[in-house]
Structure 1
Amino acid sequence: MSTLGETIDKAEWEDLKNKLLQREYRMLIGGQLVGAQGGETYETYSPSTGELLGSVPFAQSVDVHAAVDSAKKAFEFWRKTPPLDRAKMLKTLVKEFKKRAQQYAVLDAVNGGNPVTAMLSDVFSAVDMMEYVIGMVTELKGETIPSSGINWHLTRREPYGVIGKIIPFNHPIMFTAEKIVAPLIAGNTVVLKAPDQSPLSSLLFAEICQSILPPGVVNILTGDGPITGNALVCHPAVKRIALIGSVGTGKAILKSSADVAIKHVSLELGGKNAMIVYPDADIEKAVEGAVGGMNFMWCQGQSCGSTSRLFLHEDIYDEFIERLIKRVGQIKLGLPIDPETEMGCLVSQPQFDRVMGYIKSGLEQGATLVVGGEKPKGSVFQKGHFVEPTVFTNVTEDMKIFKEEIFGPVLSLICWNEKEDVIRQVNALPYGLTASIWTNHLPTAFETIDRIEAGFIWVNGSSRHFLGVPYQGFKDSGIGSEEGLDEILSYTQVKTVNIMME
């Protein structure tokens, strides 16, 4: 098996791809790999070639109810399973997951459009997060509170029950694998809805869950948001819901779930994130930070954390643009399955149309296109949803490309000279997920950190996530925290106990 440090042979990837696409993929419900009860399916495609990859089950309301009923039944014994025993089973799951790293990377490249080497990195990122969460099992503890006399006041953490998880298309296997572990380690059971556009790796992961975990502890469904996702959100037995997705979907979930019951909901949503470069910054490093922060070479800008608004001080504006144009021009576009590819394609035709619509809007509203903006030339790109890495200058705050999340490889540059004005522009939008600040002056960095309305801020860095460091959004960018101890604890509810001793 290849690891991140080894050379990957293109022919081996192609051979593995062909083998993976010759098999059938099914959902996991109640410990069984099954199709939809009514036989409903939908087709899934390769966004880079237009190739039909196969059909997957389309879960209807009856299938969602079966999965939730199974998870509810499994909860009765899973919650009573000793925490260290749960951890032991999950460690076995991680071990088997690592063995199939290449398979998951191939499926996410072929089905999602992301470069295969980046998707291999996703697998190992998920492994790190899973092992971190499993290792925190003994931290799910309560407190004793010295409040009155000789009486005892205690708290204990208990699981919710059935957890509904909905994940997006940009990192399918990473989110499928790592996002089930926190609820499971806390004693909950899970029903996960795989992403509509790129479901194959989630269904492959379902197979190792079936072989290792007791029936019903994990259930994995495929389908769409309006039918499958809504049925999951609105099921009265689903006590806790977690979504990674768009602001619009997050709002819809809050409304739909509230009509059924008061549920605990966490949302990791979109962003229109800012990168601010001060005149004293290291320009060469900041250029790399801008390219990395935009996620051109990870998921083609299809990331909620992408720093898609780049605020450059006027003293460095021209030099920065010159260096940025050169650097972006070096990005190698290609088929996602090719290990030499640095940037793949968008996930679907609607996503391609959306991004191209924003590029057209930028031109019509007066921004200056300095890089990209088109489908790349060459026969290899013509059947797929490829968009060149795109950079606009002279972007102003009245433009759509300034205000709205594009979720594609479009970077907007804004020139500034007054600190008060740049802070105002950064905070002017309803989003508040991430921000990146570039300066070598520590007081400037801390002042900007204090004033920026965002949940995760890098200083002289961008894009990277760090093990155990919480990731969360402000304003419309989310509710709750991911990736740290707070996420693990969020899958428990606190019960307070008072014991009268007198």
Structure 2
Amino acid sequence: MNEAWTTGRLLIDGELVDSEGGNWVDSINPANEEVIGRAAAGTRRDLARAVDAAKRAWPAWAERTGEERGEILRTFGDRIMERAEELSRVEVLDSGNTYGPTLASMRETVRSLRYYAGLAYSLHGETLPATSRHLHLTVYEPYGVVGRIAAYNHPAMFSAARTASALVAGNTVVVKPPETSPLSVLLLGEIAREVFPKGVFNIVNGTGAEVGDALVRHPDVKRLALIGSVQTGMAIQRSAAETGVKHVSLELGGKNPMIVFPDADLDLAAASAVQGMNFAWQGQSCGSNSRLLIHEDIYEAVLERVVARVAAIRVGDPMSPDTGMGPINSLRSYQHVTSFLDPAQTVGARLMTGGKRPEGDAFRKGYWVEPTVYADVTASMRLWREEVFGPILAVARWRDVDEMVSMANDTEYGLSAAIWTNDIKQALNTAKRIRAGSIFLNGSNTHFLGVPWGGFKSSGIDREEGVEELYSYLEKKVINIIL
């Protein structure tokens, strides 16, 4: 390992710096619990310095044309692509995610940067007629300093792709990396330093809640964005409200249903159910279809196919190209996931595969859980109602459509859902009744460039990944002309 990424420093005002307090935190490889590097641990004062730098850089950045900002984003994407393999290796060792999908996420990051760079040309206001003596214009202006708190399942992607719209709109940003997997984000800081003007892109790592809370509460940060848990989102809303009126967008958890009707193609549905669980990310995805609702006429047939596929997933070294699933991200996450494997939590359900730590010397250390399937799960079980954020699929049967819709909607979450049927009328009618932000018909959760993503209920506020994300980082101003 080389110094360039085993020692990650903060990016503040265009410089890679140590924490003002000189504090460092070890980064742990979740596959073997070994220290693989260290990251500067910032403080409230470091965060304040970063916000101050972003505030000073903002007027000149906003003064640039959208085309100029877009070109810088394209350059950022090109540099990320040049170092995509290095970024992916760092992220795999730091997060436990498998290498192939992680490398693909770097490519998706670059696609997002290029997409939003192109949208810079489409920003426009309106003219509103009133009377012959009045003319009204709407124009859009950036907020100023934007705060982004990134999640540990896609650290680099969430820190770059999900800041692209804010940057091209003319805002400057301060990113808080995930404390359990900060290294790829801090390496991203080395790339950003070479591309952006000083102060435009800042990264402040930290442990515990100190840096994140300071970012949320800072009076000069009026626009905030988080991808994370419902509990964290609620805490951010409370803290933000205590220090001012702020625009907060939240992409939070999910307990997403996949519904299989009896006329569906059983093989394709089973394959989609497994793919949609995101085992390559250890099930650590808000969009994972972690609840599988199968009609009773085909229940055992689909269940058998699903179990066979899940049991065949190879668990092991996440850097190996034939590995299908790596370790859970951290000790805290591991303890949360394994709490769902307590037999007392699943009385009446059938454990079909998995449910324990893999066997063998390679798994004696690290945060390992086998890919797991429980059948006959009921709505009263914790496994049905709470987000695991891990590789555990809960399967239930249904008989009546009204009953199924009730089961699908009976959680606090509403991020996504999948519906499998060849009856388009049935598919659309069911989609209308499911309370979720994204519905997939004969597919599973997938992100499409330019298509909005976000949730109902406790799964979030606002939408990301489309044109409306870009406009969400702008404030509308009305100019009234009295003729």
Q: What TM-score bracket applies, with the shorter chain setting the length?
A: over 0.9
> Offset of 1:494 from its aligned partner?
0.2
| SS of residue in 1 equivalent to 2:370 | coil
2:32 alignment partner in structure 1:
49
Q: Aligned-pair distance for 1:361? A: 5.0
1:76 maps to 2:59? yes
- 2:113 counterpart residue number: 130
C-alpha contact 2:70 2:116 (8 A) present in aligned 1: no
What is the CA–CA distance in structure 2 between the aligned matches of 1:190 and 1:31, rounded to whole Å?
Answer: 12
Matched residue SS, 1:54: strand
Q: Which amino acid aligns with 1:252?
A: A
Residues 6, 36 of structure 2: 8 Å contact kept: no
Match of 1:367 among 332, 343, 349: 349
Q: 1:358 maps to what in 2? A: 340
2:163 pairs, out of 180, 187, 190, with 180
The counterpart of 1:272, out of the listed 247, 251, 255, is 255
Q: Distance in 2 between matches of 1:89 and 1:354?
A: 41
Q: Which residue of 2 is the match for residue 13 of structure 1?
A: none
| Whole-angstrom CA distance in 2 between matches of 1:321 and 1:192 | 42
Q: In 2, Cα distance between the equivalents of 1:224 and 1:361?
A: 34
> Which string of whole-angstrom CA distances, capped at 9 and with x for unpartnered residues, describes residues 334-357 of structure 1?
111112211111001111111111
- Residue 393 of structure 2: which of 403, 411, 428 is its match? 411
Q: CA deviation at 1:363?
A: 5.2
Shift of 1:176: 1.4
CA contact (8 A) 1:44 1:111 kept: yes
1:32 partnered with 2:15: yes
Specify the SS of the correspondent of 2:333.
helix
8 Å Cα contact 1:21-1:53 kept in structure 2: no
Write the letter of the residue equivalent to 1:321: L
Q: Within 1, Cα distance between the matches of 2:348 and 2:131?
A: 68
The answer to whether the aligner puts 1:457 opposite 2:439 as a matched pair is: yes
Shift of 1:26: 0.5
Shift of 1:485: 0.3
Q: 1:21 deviation in Å?
A: 7.4
Superposition pairs for residues 52-131 of structure 1, below 5 Å?
Answer: 52-131=35-114
Shift in Å at residue 224 of structure 1? 2.8
Residues in 2 aligned to 1:312 and 1:364: alpha-carbon distance in whole angstroms: 19
Rounded to whole Å, the distance in 2 between the matches of 1:134 and 1:85 is 9
- Alignment of 1:234 onto 2:210: no
Q: Is the 8 A contact 1:71 1:216 kept in 2?
A: yes
Indicate which of 402, 405, 409 corresponds to 1:420.
Answer: 402
What is the identity, as a one-letter code, of the residue corresponding to 1:85? E
Q: Distance in 2 between matches of 1:216 and 1:238?
A: 14
Structure 1 range deviating more: 324-333 or 413-422: 324-333
Instruction: Kindly state the Cα deviation for residue 156 of structure 1 after the two structures are TM-superposed.
Output: 0.3
Instruction: Give the conservation status (yes or no) of the 8 Å contact 2:30–2:96.
Output: yes
Partner of 1:312, secondary structure, is strand
How far off its partner does 1:225 sit? 4.6
Distance 1:187-1:259 versus aligned 2 partners, 3 A rule: same
Matches within 5 A, 1:5-404: 18-19=1-2, 23-297=6-280, 299-360=281-342, 364-404=346-386
- Offset from partner CA, 1:350-385 (integer Å, 9 cap, x none): 111111111115654321101100111121122111
Report how far residue 145 of structure 1 moved.
1.0
Aligned-pair distance for 1:179?
Answer: 1.3
Structure 1 distance, partners of 2:360, 2:91, is 23
C-alpha offsets along residues 98-156 of structure 1, whole Å, 9 cap, x if unaligned? 00010111011100000011100110111111111111001221111122214211000
- For the 8 Å contact 1:102–1:120, the answer to whether it is kept is yes
SS at match of 1:152: strand
Q: Which runs of 5+ in 1 are unaligned?
A: 1-17
d(CA) in 1 for partners of 2:468 and 2:248? Answer: 14
In structure 2, the gaps of 5 or more residues are: none
Match of 1:144, as an amino acid?
Answer: T
How far apart are 1:19 and its partner, in Å? 3.3
Tell me if structure 2 keeps the 8 A contact 1:287–1:320.
yes
Counting matched residue pairs gives 483
Q: Which amino acid aligns with 2:478?
A: T
**Does the 8 A contact of 1:189 with 1:216 survive in 2?**
yes
Rounded Cα–Cα distance in structure 2 between residues aligned with 1:365 and 1:486: 45
Say which is worse superposed, 217-226 or 304-313, in terms of deviation: 217-226
Q: 2:77–2:109: 8 Å Cα contact kept in structure 1? A: no
Instruction: Note closer, same or farther for the CA distance 1:334–1:267 as it changes in structure 2 (3 Å cut).
Output: same
TM-score (norm 1): 0.95
- For the Cα contact (< 8 Å) 1:362–1:400, is it kept in 2? no
Task: Give CA deviations for 1:273-332 in whole Å, capped at 9, x if unaligned.
Answer: 1000000001100011100111112x1101111111100000000111111111112211
Cα distance change on mapping 1:57 and 1:492 into 2, 3 Å:
same
What is the distance in 1 between the residues matched to 2:453 and 2:481? 37
Query: In structure 1, the residue corresponding to 2:38 is in which secondary structure?
Result: strand
- Cα distance between partner residues in 1 of 2:184 and 2:38: 13
Amino acid at match of 2:347: Q
2:414 match: secondary structure: coil
Over 4 Å off, 4+ runs: 20-23, 361-364
2:412 alignment counterpart? 430
TM-score (norm 2): 0.98
Q: Specify the alignment match of 1:483 in structure 2.
A: 465
* RMSD over equivalenced CA pairs, Å: 1.2
Aligned to 1:15: none
Matches within 5 A, 1:437-448: 437-448=419-430
Taking structure 1 as reference, are residues 426 and 116 closer, same or farther at Cα in structure 2, changes over 3 Å only?
same
Alpha-carbon distance between aligned partners in 1 of 2:3 and 2:252, rounded to the nearest angstrom: 32
SS at match of 1:339: coil
Question: 1:20–1:103: 8 Å Cα contact kept in structure 2?
Answer: no
1 CA distance for matches of 2:347 and 2:166?
Answer: 46
Contact 1:362 1:399 survives alignment (8 Å):
no
